[in-house]
Structure 1
Amino acid sequence: MTDARFCVCVPARDEADRLPILLDALARQDVDGPIRVSILINNTVDDSVAAVARAQAAWGERLHLAVACHDLPPERAHAGTARRLAMEAGLARIDPDRGVLISTDADTRPPSDWISAMLRAIDAGLDIVGGRIVVDDAEPLAAAMDAMQVKLDRYWACVRAIEDDIDPCRWDPAPRHGDHTGASLAILAPLYRAAGGVPAIPAGEDRALVEAAVAAGGRLGHPISVWTRVSARTIGRATGGMADHMQALSDRVARGESTFLPSFDQWRARAAWRRMRRDQPGGDAGVARDEPLLPPMRCDMPLGLDR
C-alpha cells in the first residue's frame, strides 16, 4: 500500500519503437515528484523490455517504472486482459482511497499538462475523466483522410450540442469533447474497484469499464483541457482498436465510399430518452445501466450533412 496520488498504466505488445516516445512525454509532465508508471508487456517478440530499461536509465528518478512481462495464452492475449493487468498493477501503487489510475496506450504522446489537467478535473469533482484523442501531428494524415477527420469532428460536435441542449449534465458542461477511451482515461481507485475493474474481454474493455463505473455512480466528464496525441498507424496491436478504425476509414476514403452515421434526429430521440430515464428511480446510474439494452441506432445519414 502507498499514498501515491496517481499511477499511469500502460499495456504494451511489440511497442519497442513507441514506448520511448511515450515515456519521454511522461517524464516531461509538469507535475512535481516522480511519475509512477506500470507497464504490462505481453506476448512481445521485440526488444520492448530493453527499450523501457533505456528510458529508465535516461530519466533516473523522474520515472518510477514497474514492468511486468506476461506470455498470455491465445484466448487471453488481448487488450482486455492486458489493460486489466496493467491497471491492477497500478492500483497496488497508489493511495487506495484517493489515488487515481490513469490509463493510456503505448502509442500515445501526451502534452506536458496531460496528468495535471486530469488531476485538476478530479479535484473539481469528477470521478472519471475522459481525454480527447487527436491524431499525432508528427504523423500527418493524407489530405483525403484529414478532410474526413474534419467532417467527423464536426459531426460529433453537433451530437454534443444536441445532448447539451436536451439533456445537459451539470458536472460535464459545454464546452466538452466526447472521448473516453483507454488511451486517455483517469478514474478514482475506489470507483475502479466498485466497477469491477477492466473486464478481460477481447475489445471494447475501456468503454465497458466506463459504463460500469457510471452505473456504479461515477461522475464522468470530458473537459477540453484534457487531451492526448495518438498514432495514425493503421497496423496496430489490439483487435478493434484505433489502428483498425484508422484502416477501415482509410479504406473507405480510398474507395470513394460514403461514411454513414446515425442521424441527428436519432440523437435527439436518444437524448430525450436519457433525460426521461434520468428523472426516474436510479437517475444517472439507471441511464448507464439501461442504455446499452436499447436497440442500436441506425447508421442512415451520410457524413457531411448539416444538422
Structure 2
Amino acid sequence: MNQLLPIETKFLFKGEVHPSLQLSVIVPAKNESGFIVKTLDALRLQLNELGIAINMDLYEVLVLANNCTDDTFHICKMYQQQYPEFHLHVECIELEEKQAHIGTARRLLMDAAHLRIMKVAGKRGIIVSTDADSEVAPDWVYHIMKEIAAGADVIGGRILPRDTPEISRRHHLRDVTYRFLKTRLESAIDPSDTNPWPRHFQCYGPSLAVTCEMYEKAGRLPMIPYLEDEEFRKALNRVDAKIRHSPKVRIYTSGRLDGRVKFGFSVQLKHWSEMSLRSEEQQVESLDALIFKFDFKNRLRNIWNNGNFETYSLSALAALADWAEMDDVELVNIFNTSIYFESLWEKIEQRLHQQGHSSIVYEPINLVISAMRMHFHQRSKVTIKKLTKELIVGSKALAG
C-alpha cells in the first residue's frame, strides 16, 4: 500500500517554523486556479467563537501545487507576498505518472506537516487535511483545536457541498439523511464518551484533523491513487483512535462532477445522477439490521472492557455467540487475537456480511429512512410519557 516517497520530506517546506505553532493545514492543489484564492481567504480569516480573529502564529498552511498546467502555484506565491503575516508556505513539484495522484500529494504534505510541527508542538501537535476546492468555516481552526484539547485524537469535520447538481440532489440528500439517522441510532444503542451526540458521520480528506502521535500510530496516510482518506480513517479506527465527528467543525466544498480521482465525491455524484436517470433506488441496511449490529457491538464492548476476568469473558462470549447466532469458537478466537476493540469489531462485522447472516437485510433507502424516523418518534413519545409520570409523582410528593 505504501511505496517509497518520490521526494524526501525534509526537502519540502523548509521555511521557518514559528515557535507558537500548534496546527498545520495541508492543501494538495492540482490545477485549482479557479478555487484556490477562496480557499486561502477562508483559511486566513479564522475567528474564535466570539468572532475575534485568532492568533495567526498558532497555525500555518502548506500548499503543494503538483503537476499543474495552470497558474495555481503563481497565484499562491502572489498571495504569500500579499499577506506576509499569514503563515503560508508553497511548493511546486512534478510527480512521475505512476505517482501523480492525490495519495502521493496528501502523504507528502502530511509527512511535511508532521516533521515541522513535531519540532515545536510535539505529539499533540495537529495535522489538518483539506482540499483546494473547499472553503473552511470561519471558526474551523478554533473548533478543531478545542476538540483536540478536550482529548480527541482525530476530528472529522462536517463537509457541506455547494451547488449539488439537480439530477443527483435527491439521492445525495437521502444518503445524508440515512447516514445521520444511522449515527444517531448508534449513539443511542452503543454510546461513546469521546464522540457523543450530537455528531455526524464524516471523516474525510476535505476536513480531517489528527494529532502527530496518532498519525504515527496509524501508520501514516497510505499512498494510494484514491480513497486514501477512507483507508486512513480505517487505519485510525483499527488502533482505537478517539475520533470525534464534531458538528462545529464545518467546511464547504464544490459539487463539481469533473473529479480529479477515479473515485471520490464527484464520482459518487455521477453515480447518483445515473441512478436518477434509471429510476433506481439505493439499497441500504434495514433498521432491524442496524439495531442488531449496534446491539451486538455494545454487548461485545462490555465484555472487552471487562476482559481481565478470563472466565467471565469466555462464558459471556459463548452467550453472546448464541444470541448472535454465530460460531462461539470463531468469536472467541477473533476476540483473543485482537489488540484493539475497533479492529475486533471490524473483523466481526466482515464475518456477518461474508456469511450472509440472517439479520443483515437490505431495503430501499426511502423505506429505511421512514422506519428510522418512526423509531425515534416512538422513543420520544415514551420518553415524554416517562418524564410526565415522574413530574406527577414528584408533584404529589411535594404536595404531601
Q: TM-score, normalised by structure 1?
A: 0.90
1:53-92 superposed matches below 5 A: 53-62=77-86, 64-92=87-115
- 2:43 equivalent in structure 1: 26
Q: Is contact 2:156–2:243 with CA below 8 Å preserved after alignment?
A: yes
2:160 and 2:122 map into 1 onto residues whose CA distance is: 31
Q: Which runs of 5+ in 2 are unaligned?
A: 1-16, 48-53, 308-334, 355-359, 372-400
The answer on 1:184 being equivalent to 2:239 is no
2:341 is aligned, of 283, 286, 290, to 286
Higher mean displacement: 175-184 or 279-288 = 279-288
Letter in 2 for 1:234: L
1:69 Cα deviation (Å)?
2.5
- 1:43 equivalent in structure 2: 67
2:130 and 2:71 map into 1 onto residues whose CA distance is: 20
1:12 is aligned, of 16, 20, 29, to 29
1:157 and 1:284 map into 2 onto residues whose CA distance is: 30
Letter in 1 for 2:342: V
Letter in 2 for 1:301: E
1:85-104 superposed matches below 5 A: 85-94=108-117, 95-104=121-130
1:302 and 1:112 map into 2 onto residues whose CA distance is: 38
Q: Deviations over 1:144-196 (max 9, x none)?
A: 54333332222112211221122111111111101000110111111111111
1:299 and 1:196 map into 2 onto residues whose CA distance is: 34
Higher mean displacement: 283-292 or 14-23 = 283-292
1:238 and 1:289 map into 2 onto residues whose CA distance is: 31
Letter in 2 for 1:304: N
User: What is the aligned residue count?
Assistant: 303
Higher mean displacement: 76-85 or 123-132 = 76-85
1:276 and 1:203 map into 2 onto residues whose CA distance is: 35
- 1:110 equivalent in structure 2: 136
2:366 is aligned, of 295, 304, 307, to 304
Q: Deviations over 1:216-250 (max 9, x none)?
A: 23200112111111100011112212211122122
1:207 is aligned, of 230, 236, 241, to 230
CA RMSD of aligned residues (A): 2.3
Q: Deviations over 1:8-29 (max 9, x none)?
A: 0111211111111110110111
Higher mean displacement: 233-242 or 282-291 = 282-291
> Greater share of helix residues, 1 or 2?
2
1:79 Cα deviation (Å)?
1.9
- 2:313 equivalent in structure 1: none
* Pair 1:80–1:289, CA change in 2 (3 A): farther
Q: Deviations over 1:10-50 (max 9, x none)?
A: 11211111111110110111121244111222222121101
The answer on 1:120 being equivalent to 2:120 is no
Q: Is contact 1:3–1:99 with CA below 8 Å preserved after alignment?
A: no
1:75 and 1:262 map into 2 onto residues whose CA distance is: 37
Higher mean displacement: 249-258 or 220-229 = 249-258
SS of aligned partner of 1:86: helix
Higher mean displacement: 155-164 or 268-277 = 268-277
2:43 and 2:191 map into 1 onto residues whose CA distance is: 34
Letter in 1 for 2:82: A
1:292 Cα deviation (Å)?
5.6
Q: Deviations over 1:43-92 (max 9, x none)?
A: 22121101211222332212x22222232222222221111111111112
Q: TM-score, normalised by structure 2?
A: 0.70
- 1:175 equivalent in structure 2: 198
Q: Which runs of 5+ in 1 are unaligned?
A: none
SS of aligned partner of 2:116: coil
- 2:385 equivalent in structure 1: none
* Pair 1:119–1:299, CA change in 2 (3 A): farther
Specify the structure having the higher radius of gyration (Cα).
2
